[in-house]
Amino acid sequence: MRIITAIKEMQSYVKHNYRRGRKIALVPTMGYFHDGHVMLIREARKLCDRLVVSIFVNPLQFGRGEDFATYPRDMKRDLDLAKEEGTNVVFAPTADEFYPPGYSTFVDEEKISKKLCGGFRPGHFKGVTTVVAKLFNIIRPHTAVFGQKDAQQVAIIKKMVRELSYPIHIIVIQTIREKNGLACSSRNEYLTVHERKDAALLYASLQKAQDMVKAGVRDAGKIAESIRAHLASSPVIKPEYVELVNPNTLERVSQIGERTLIALAAHVGMTRLIDNIFVEP
Ligand code: AMP
């Protein structure tokens, strides 16, 4: 497995493999691998001749007062895991290599990135679309693999790929969860033992919502209310939003008529977590 930190070197690797007609897959990550990352890497491995995993804690997608400086990092362990899963290249540029001093070019989706998390993390998705577009330009993958855990990110990336005409196939992997149902996240590391136990309520509340839909409830307001009530049973959980939306446009729905995304964000103690689930009648 090669470790590449320079953009130029990454580009020559890509050129070399394009000349040989090889298919490239990319898994973009911020590292500190958990089972979710491993599933993405495993899936991508099946879909290509050359697998590139990027590890880059993207400063652009962190707001002021967010956890950029303290975001968990463990490059050695990540490299071991990536190698074990058959990765060909880990692309791990420094922030200065990726955004040299004076950097001022950005990619911004202006509609759906303003909804859900966008309302609470201004600039976050502009950072995401900019880093992903730049990775796409450097690595020119045929396929890129993302996780459904970040449902809004998936919707925005798919829209960006369509609207900027990237010839890239986007694959989405279901959310991988810990034993108690909590969605795997590098940020789970921040949780105390007690918070981690209560954080399981996030998924439990979504599952209860799914049961309500199965039982015939269609009123989005009622379902959101039930989720909020469920979360209120923990004193350490402070919900930021609970919304039922169309999975592509992220527009709110009032009734569950077709496939609907139920997405939530909540602070568990000091840690901000997100989760989501699909429901359909
Ligand atoms: P991150 O390193 O948090 O930026 O995530 C890198 C990729 O892994 C993104 O496409 C995420 O959506 C995906 N991912 C993160 N957590 C999970 C999870 N629990 N299950 C599946 N994919 C995930």
CATH of the domain at 234: 3.30.1300.10
In a domain, 12, yes or no: yes
Claim to verify: residue 275 and residue 156 sit in the same structural domain: no
Per-residue pLDDT reduced to its tens digit, 229-240: 999 999 999 999
> Count of residues for the chain?
281
Let me know the angle formed at the C-alpha of 90 by 84 and 91, rounded to the nearest 5 degrees: 170
SS3 state of residue 236: coil
Claim to verify: residue 65 and residue 129 sit in the same structural domain: yes
Claim to verify: residue 168 and residue 243 sit in the same structural domain: no
Claim to verify: residue 28 and residue 132 sit in the same structural domain: yes
**161 falls in which pLDDT band (50, 70, 90)?**
very high
The rounded distance, in Å, linking the Cα atoms of 8 and 70 is 29
Query: Which CATH number covers residue 37?
Result: 3.40.50.620
Q: How many domains does the chain have?
A: 2
The rounded distance, in Å, linking the Cα atoms of 113 and 119 is 8
Would the CB of 147 count as within 6 Å of ligand 1?
A: yes
The rounded distance, in Å, linking the Cα atoms of 184 and 101 is 34
Percent of the chain having pLDDT more than 70? Answer: 100
Domain boundary pick from 173, 202, 222: 173
The rounded distance, in Å, linking the Cα atoms of 47 and 34 is 21
Would the CB of 124 count as within 6 Å of ligand 1?
A: no
Question: Which residue numbers are catalytic?
Answer: 37
Would the CB of 131 count as within 6 Å of ligand 1?
A: no
Claim to verify: residue 192 and residue 168 sit in the same structural domain: no
What is the structure's pLDDT at 138?
A: 99
Claim to verify: residue 167 and residue 197 sit in the same structural domain: no
Claim to verify: residue 10 and residue 117 sit in the same structural domain: yes
Distance 210 CA to ligand 1 centre (A): 23
Would the CB of 30 count as within 6 Å of ligand 1?
A: yes
User: Mutate which of 27, 30, 37, 277 to test ligand 1's pocket (most atoms within 8 Å of Cβ)?
Assistant: 37
Per-residue pLDDT reduced to its tens digit, 35-47: 999 999 999 999 9
In a domain, 217, yes or no: yes
In a domain, 247, yes or no: yes
Mean pLDDT estimate for the chain: 98
Q: Average pLDDT, stretch 245-254?
A: 98
Domain boundary pick from 119, 152, 173: 173
What is the structure's pLDDT at 260?
A: 98
Domain boundary pick from 119, 146, 173: 173
Q: Return the structure tokens found at 10.
A: 């990454």
The rounded distance, in Å, linking the Cα atoms of 57 and 59 is 6
Containing domain of residue 249, as a range?
A: 186-279
Claim to verify: residue 10 and residue 145 sit in the same structural domain: yes
* The one-letter amino acid at 25: A
State the helix-helix crossing angle for 124-139 and 151-163, rounded to 10 degrees.
Answer: 50
In a domain, 179, yes or no: no
The rounded distance, in Å, linking the Cα atoms of 7 and 13 is 10
User: Mutate which of 55, 62, 128, 150 to test ligand 1's pocket (most atoms within 8 Å of Cβ)?
Assistant: 150
* The one-letter amino acid at 71: Y
Claim to verify: residue 169 and residue 53 sit in the same structural domain: yes
Claim to verify: residue 92 and residue 198 sit in the same structural domain: no
Claim to verify: residue 39 and residue 74 sit in the same structural domain: yes
SS3 state of residue 102: coil
Claim to verify: residue 127 and residue 213 sit in the same structural domain: no
* Locus of tokens 């020119």: 140
